[in-house]
Amino acid sequence: MEAQRHFGKQIMQQAYHWVSLELSENGTMTEAAAAPQQPKNPLHGLTLEAIVRALEANYGWEELGQRIPVRCFTQDPSVSSSLKFLRKTPWAREKVEGLYLFMLREKRRYEGR
């Protein structure tokens, strides 16, 4: 038990040291310290707002409401109301992210022709 506690404390100290080194260079957390790179993840670095705006620009609110039938897309839709709902509702956010990925695949498919 004591060995596990020591090992856990040692890992935490190393992690703290690594982050503090990243912070000490310019006083702010760099991207490397914040999160590991994810080059194959098309959602990495995108905000939920950017995703909702892209979907609205591509489909419009009416079609977006048909594809994902939730109130924030069908009744008096707006980006702000959508963001509030999606941040509180994981299943709806997954559907929105899935539709965004589908939209990207479709765009790539049509660009290749």
pLDDT at 38 over 50: yes
- The pLDDT score that the predictor gives to residue 5 is 47
Q: What percentage of the chain exceeds 70 in pLDDT? A: 67
- The pLDDT score that the predictor gives to residue 40 is 83
Q: How far is CA 17 from the centre of its chain?
A: 27
pLDDT at 7 over 60: no
First to last CA, the chain: 62
- The pLDDT score that the predictor gives to residue 11 is 44
Q: Cβ(36)–Cβ(64) under 8 Å?
A: no
Sort residue 45 into left (φ over 0), alpha (ψ -120 to 50) or beta: left
pTM to 2 decimals? 0.65
